[in-house]
Chains A and B, each alone.
Chain A
Amino acid sequence: MRDATKTSVAPGSADEATAEPAAPAAPVRDAAKPRSLLQDAVRDLVRKPLFLVSSGIILVLVVMAAFPTLFASADPQLCELGRSLQKPSADAWFGYDARGCDVYARTIHGARTSITVGVLATLGSAVIALLLGLISGFYGRWIDAVISRGIDIVMGIPFLVGAIVILNSFRDEDGFRIGGIWGVLTALTVLGWMSMARIMRSTAMQTKQSDYVTAARSLGASTGRLMFRHVLPNALTPLIVLATISLGVIISAEATLSFLGVGIQEPTISWGVMINQSLGRIRESLHPLLFPAGFVSITVLAFIMLGDAVRDALDPKLR
């Protein structure tokens, strides 16, 4: 707070210094320093334990995804059958899986895939939702009818069936299925934007009715300016919140697809892949399943908590 005040005063300070005695207004201005809605929200957020805890977890996970070697020195691809299914120990904190790979190293390295897929798929579907929702909410009439029915149709596709169809179309020249992250990303993006688009559409419709949009129109603003400068910033909040929440859902959806064997495949490591591999020997030892599954749960929880906190901070009605 103090820093913010300082930097904002700095540019004018040279003039102010010369006019020092005749500046009784200065302290008053400090008290009423302009704060945008976003700044207000940030101020609210940093005081919330829910936000601090969830963003702390997410920060750790992101660092983990970016620099896995900081956390795990062991090679995740080095598997020795001799240590198959060994229990957790000081050497290998999470033990070894059926093939004798270090579960801890694999979990840490798996964070990258899971979080990349989660973040990119959420961003992708949020962008689709934003554009389609904004256009249909702003223009209304037949454009809205076409887009809304389109949303209904895509929503009618059962998630798993749709995902399997999309993933099966990702094949290399020899006809083998590609198990990288692109297929999963596409599937999750294509099947994940609908509810966000609906929210965007309804808030855009609501915002469009505002007096300030009419006022801007009467002062000669073009359609593009009305849409992106006046409607969009005022209609964005619910979409941001829903996107944060759906990030968690998308990470678990990625795990689901990989677990079913249609998503990401070896040699790419992801939490879903690890869960899938652990199932064969589940009755002998549980730890190869529990650790990656636990990470999925914690990540999803952290993102949903973040979404909740962001919603509370951005929603003026809850102030």
Chain B
Amino acid sequence: MTTMEKTANVPAPRSDEDYQGPLLEVRDLHVEFHTREGVAKAVNGVNYTVDAGETLAVLGESGSGKSVTAQAIMGILDMPPGRIPQGEILFRGQDMLTMPENERRKIRGRKVAMIFQDALSSLNPVLTVGYQLGEMFRAHLGMSKKDAKLKAIELMDRVRIPAAKERVNDYPHQFSGGMRQRIMIAMALALEPDLIIADEPTTALDVTVQAQVMDLLAELQREYNMGLILITHDLGVVADVADKIAVMYAGRIVETAPVHELYSRPSHPYTRGLLDSIPRLDQKGQELYAIKGLPPNLTRIPAGCAFNPRCPKAQDICATDIPLLHPVTERDGTDLPGRGSACHFWKETIHG
């Protein structure tokens, strides 16, 4: 008994203290959904890492698998119909997928937290926001009701909700959209987690509020030195906040790059298409570029490169061979750190 406890306990704290690797590492993650139309392959071998204090933006159209990846990390996928046939999700070196459920639950909220897109539907309508914020402290830390409420007020101040003390007993529907999203952020931040996943945190908000919420999120992230995974389809939101970007298409990462390099020199035709379809003032009067066609049906992903039916540069090889994520280099072969492109013709794409 004692020996078992020792062997079980000793490595865990050590790996926590001296752990040197990335905060979160997703390795070759696959997620599929079993539907009546067949197996929908939502995520097909995603790899990424996030370090403490770093912001990774995951970019992609609806259905590209960016949210499903996040749900898999959080362990909130509906299984069934969802299934994770292979892959690892390492949080501080520990695989969350093989962890027992109660251990995983302890990580959720305390170490890894999530911010959802629609704050109104993500807050329980029959409970006051003070109660829901305080719930984090009561459930995870066993605080008393009174202390938890004080902490809730503190948190609401932290995310700059005016008159927090008076509003702590209000219900979610009595707050504006921006304020509700702040409450969501406060809930995720409550226990100062190491990693926050924000799933389109500003999509439901108007543009001015979007900027405020993103600024707040970035500021809090810096302050607590958290890792942040920002899932979005809004290229504008990403530019200011992210450190690096992973572009997803049909469940695969097609390009990775540090944020500004991606905008200046995309190395995948899909990324180029996305950037070209941003409306620009200097092109007033001209027709707005759009990527032709539709994202593929996930039950019938095209053979070869999934993007090939829509790609302006597609050749024969694109319909047969799946391109791997090649490291991207300068024309003369110097390494471009952090850059990768899953395109057979990445050289032509980046270097013209």
Interface segment, one of A53-61, A112-120, A158-166, A222-230: A222-230
**Is B174 in contact with A218, judged by CB distance below 8 angstroms?**
no
Encoded as 1 (CB less than 8 Å from any A CB) or 0, chain B from 79 to 111 comes to 000000000000000000000000001111110
A284 within 8 A of B: no
A interface residue numbers (CB < 8 A to B):
25, 29, 32, 34-37, 210-212, 214-222, 225, 229-230, 233-234
B163 engages A219 (CB within 8 Å): no
Residues in A with CB closer than 8 Å to B75 are 218
28 contacts across the A-B interface (CB closer than 8 A): A25-B163, A29-B166, A32-B174, A36-B126, A36-B128, A212-B122, A214-B76, A215-B114, A215-B184, A216-B135, A217-B76, A218-B74, A218-B75, A218-B76, A218-B109, A218-B116, A219-B108, A219-B109, A219-B114, A220-B108, A220-B109, A220-B140, A221-B109, A221-B135, A222-B139, A230-B124, A233-B124, A234-B126
CA distance A28 to B93 in the complex (A): 52
Q: Which residues of B contact A230 (CB under 8 A)?
A: 124
A212-B124, A229-B127 known; A34+B174 contact, CB < 8 A: yes
Residues of A with C-beta under 8 A to B122: 211-212, 214-215
Decide: B121 and A211 in contact? CB cutoff 8 A.
yes
Which residues of the partner chain B approach A216 to less than 8 Å between Cβ atoms? 124, 135
Q: A215-B114, A219-B114, A220-B139 are in contact. List 12 more A-B contacts (CB 8 A).
A: A32-B170, A34-B128, A215-B123, A215-B187, A216-B124, A218-B75, A218-B76, A219-B108, A219-B187, A219-B188, A220-B106, A220-B136
Q: Which of B106, B116, B124, B187 has the most CB of A within 10 A?
A: B124
Chain B interface residues toward A at CB < 8 A: 74-76, 105-110, 113-114, 116, 118, 121-128, 135-136, 139-140, 163, 166, 169-171, 174, 184, 187-188
Q: Which residues of A contact B184 (CB under 8 A)?
A: 215
- Give B301 Cβ to nearest chain A Cβ, in Å: 27
Closest to B101 in A: A223
List residues of chain B with CB within 8 A of the CB of A29. Answer: 163, 166
- How long is the Cα–Cα vector from A216 to B188 in the complex, in angstroms? 10
Please name the residue on chain A nearest to B187 by beta carbon. A219
- In the bound complex, how far is the Cα of B124 from the Cα of A205, in angstroms? 16
**Contact at A37–B126, with CB atoms within 8 Å?**
yes
Query: What chain B residues lie within 8 Å of A32 (beta carbons)?
Result: 170, 174
> Please, which residues of chain B bring their CB within 8 A of the CB of A222?
105, 139
A34 to B105, CA, bound (A): 33
B80 nearest in chain A by CB position: A141
In the assembled complex, the Cα of A25 lies from the Cα of B128 at a distance in Å of 21
B139: A residues at CB distance < 8 A: 220-222, 225
Q: Which residue of B lies closest to A36 (CB)?
A: B171
Rounded to whole angstroms, the CA-CA distance of A169 and B310 in the bound complex is 75
Residues of A within 8 A of B110 (CB): 220
Distance in angstroms between the alpha carbons of A234 and B171 in the assembled complex: 14
Name the CB-closest residue of B to A32: B174
Q: Across the interface, which residues of B come within 8 angstroms of A36, CB to CB?
A: 126, 128, 171
In the A-B complex, the 5 residue pairs with the smallest Cβ-Cβ separation, listed nearest first, are A220-B109, A219-B109, A220-B108, A211-B121, A215-B122
Tell which of A25, A34, A233 has the most Cβ of chain B within 10 Å. A34
Q: Are A211 and B118 also in contact (CB < 8 A) when A225-B139, A230-B124 are?
A: yes
| Set B118, B127, B166, B170: member contacting A233, Cβ < 8 A | B127
Are B114 and A218 in contact, CB atoms less than 8 angstroms apart?
yes
Contact A212 B125 (CB under 8 A): yes
Q: B113–A212 contact, CB under 8 A?
A: no
Question: B111 to nearest A CB, angstroms?
Answer: 9
Residue among B107, B127, B187, B188 with max Cβ neighbours from chain A (10 Å): B127
CA distance A35 to B128 in the complex (A): 10
Give complex CA distance A219, B112 in Å.
8
Among B114, B123, B140, B163, point to the contact of A212 (Cβ < 8 A): B123
Partner of B171, one of A34, A211, A215, A217: A34
B144 to chain A, nearest CB (A): 17
